[in-house]
Structure 1
């Protein structure tokens, strides 16, 4: 048995969550329902404009790893923060979930701060994200512990982290160490605009190294440059062994071993859609790592996504294993 079931690699951010209306988004030039990269001055200005906010340890892949840890999975995370207030929040929260987090904190004098994502939630639960990557942007191959990657059954790579000068080489180092030791590789596309920026690199990695592809409808259409959802799913399945693609209130599509399962969503009142895809991926990976079939793992993913969108914040508040039992998948 390997030391870790899943090791995640991605951004290390603190989410700053606030409610607003569509007029606020328009007045401040914020794209609705997408992630926009911003610089430090914009982050400071926007923070001053929003109303009351909650600060919660976040980052897409870190949310996924926290969900797996809450389920009892053996997890670790790689992502960079500074030795500042937000960095301490991030490290403590992730470790408190039960995940191993050993990435060294950068000194305060490095000229950067811990990254943060200002998440603006409109009344329909849609989230518009404004992300200052901070020190998280500077992931390098030197930050990858090859022994840790080799000790993982799966590594989970965050597509957002493709926005960084050295991140592609860092991912390549982790992939090589994992696969040489018999592990498998999963990646999430993260955002359609992220796909637009890095499509060639994504496609090359998917074809050559990836065993499991996570995406939502918009991301997979962007990746395969088509408006035909069925065609995009088919194209992805021709390149990777397992495809797990979410489709909001329509549930998820799982393609593996020549089969296609449609898993319905779990109805709930949407309070904050932040983290839905992250927790879907976490529950799906946990299910696979613990011997459950592809369809059952997809159902677990939909249950976890439903739980996390029913409240503010991208970390589960209910016990996910209890929910899995309630819905008959555990």
Structure 2
């Protein structure tokens, strides 16, 4: 029986504020390069006042993935909390415009806090340093999880960043239970090595018990398995999870499943902004998986989509991903 959704994602609903910055600006403002740091509202206001010209683009890791699948024609839905304010309206409009189903009830306008935003500083080398004010998205609760929606998904896609919310683990457990009860499958993205450090035990427990597909990059998977040996980390992950899809920047991606290991080369690209590369890799991979493609081809699709996203500012596709797949002989 065909399910209503190929993929339902759960994550932090954020609007990205993207600006270019020199390395000296990062150092002067106490920003660690290349990672995501959580900040409070005052720090968000102060930092926003210091950056140069900026673009506001709807983001959020899992939301970017869901938007990418929707752009490819996949049936998708997204769960993430915004406030009934200007940035919340921007986020909802942009996601629905891609074709994704988005019905999470917004926090009322008189709620303390605001719609979350991520100030993304892009240095000349294309690296992005993210400063995230979670705002109301931190307070996604089990009440925001529609069990029928989860049961209606072939796959659910869980964003590692969501582990920072106070009721996130309970919300994820509810979503996983509903999906698994209807023979759905669970995918997880680790999101960030520092996120892994904060929640390693919870991640490991979920991976062992519930996860069918793990997305990670080199730094995240090394952090998860507390080793400097990349091959060892991949092998340990593959021993616990049915499918492992691990990206490695310009070295492409590694796909491991059923005792097999495929290395998929990256698509050479001039890096403008690395924001969203992993998100769109996951989007293309999941789209391929839910449309009957083999795992190696899913990985190649992921690398094509990632190359598109790093070629411009922002974490939502600007080119037609289906057309790019055709150009590369993948569909």
Partner of 2:87: 86
Partner of 2:169: 168
The offset of 1:112, in angstroms, is 1.1
Partner of 2:292: 291
Provide the rounded CA distance (Å) in 1 between the counterparts of 2:111 and 2:304: 41
What is the root-mean-square deviation in Å for CA atoms of aligned residues? 0.3
Provide the rounded CA distance (Å) in 2 between the counterparts of 1:183 and 1:129: 32
The offset of 1:161, in angstroms, is 0.3
Partner of 1:204: 205
List aligned pairs for 1:95-110, cutoff 5 A: 95-110=96-111
Q: What per-residue deviation string (whole Å, max 9, x for no partner) do you get for residues 174-229 of structure 1?
A: 00000010000000000000000000000000000000000000000000000000
Provide the rounded CA distance (Å) in 1 between the counterparts of 2:194 and 2:269: 28
Provide the rounded CA distance (Å) in 1 between the counterparts of 2:259 and 2:4: 31
Provide the rounded CA distance (Å) in 1 between the counterparts of 2:109 and 2:130: 25
Partner of 1:131: 132
Partner of 1:255: 256
Provide the rounded CA distance (Å) in 2 between the counterparts of 1:328 and 1:206: 34
Partner of 1:271: 272
Partner of 1:306: 307
Q: 1:48 is paired with a residue of what secondary structure?
A: helix
Partner of 2:150: 149
The offset of 1:105, in angstroms, is 1.2
Q: 2:279 is paired with a residue of what secondary structure?
A: helix
Partner of 1:49: 50
List aligned pairs for 1:6-85, cutoff 5 A: 6-85=7-86
Q: 1:6 is paired with a residue of what secondary structure?
A: strand
Partner of 1:320: 321
Partner of 1:2: 3
Provide the rounded CA distance (Å) in 2 between the counterparts of 1:183 and 1:105: 27
Partner of 1:193: 194
Q: 2:268 is paired with a residue of what secondary structure?
A: coil
| Structure 2: gaps of 5 or more residues | none
Q: 2:121 is paired with a residue of what secondary structure?
A: strand
Provide the rounded CA distance (Å) in 2 between the counterparts of 1:219 and 1:105: 31
The count of corresponding residues between Structure 1 and Structure 2 is 330
Provide the rounded CA distance (Å) in 2 between the counterparts of 1:31 and 1:75: 34
Partner of 2:225: 224
Q: Which runs of 4+ in 1 moved over 4 A?
A: none
Q: What per-residue deviation string (whole Å, max 9, x for no partner) do you get for residues 289-329 of structure 1?
A: 00000000000000000000000000000000110010011
Q: What per-residue deviation string (whole Å, max 9, x for no partner) do you get for residues 233-256 of structure 1?
A: 000000000000000000000001
Q: What per-residue deviation string (whole Å, max 9, x for no partner) do you get for residues 21-68 of structure 1?
A: 000000000000000000000000000000000000000000000000
Provide the rounded CA distance (Å) in 2 between the counterparts of 1:29 and 1:286: 39
| Structure 1: gaps of 5 or more residues | none
The offset of 1:108, in angstroms, is 1.3
The offset of 1:106, in angstroms, is 1.0
Q: 2:110 is paired with a residue of what secondary structure?
A: helix
